[in-house]
Amino acid sequence: MTFYYAFMNKSSIVTELFVVVGDTEFFEGQAAEDYYSQLRGFACKKTDIDGNFRKNRAQVGFTYDLERDAFISPKPYKSWLLVEETCQWEAPVPYPDDGLMYSWNEELTDWEATGF
């Protein structure tokens, strides 16, 4: 089996990811998260490559939110809102569904056509 873990700094920002190949999530009688936290002196949380565990796959720069037990990407724009169910950011205006390409304009807080 393969297990994925993330180390976080004191601000709960993911600073490092690592993979463990083995048949257990326990080491020396401790849960792997606790074992690695003590070993390195940084908080450690399990993640998964598909993002099905803890809402999203951990990546360097993401924040671990203890209350939500989720990894959350950096907020892309000041106006965007966090969707509680997925812990992903969403624009306050839906992306247009007209076949054109758009980019977010934070000054207008709306989508702006960028091409055809």
Amino acid at 81: L
- Of the pLDDT bands very low, low, confident and very high (cuts 50, 70, 90), residue 24 is confident
pTM for this entry: 0.87
Mean pLDDT of the 1-17 span? 95
Mean pLDDT of the 95-107 span? 95
For residue 6, what are the contacts with CB-CB under 8 A and spacing of at least 6? 14, 16, 17, 44, 45, 46, 47, 58, 62, 64, 71
Q: Is the pLDDT of residue 21 over 70?
A: yes
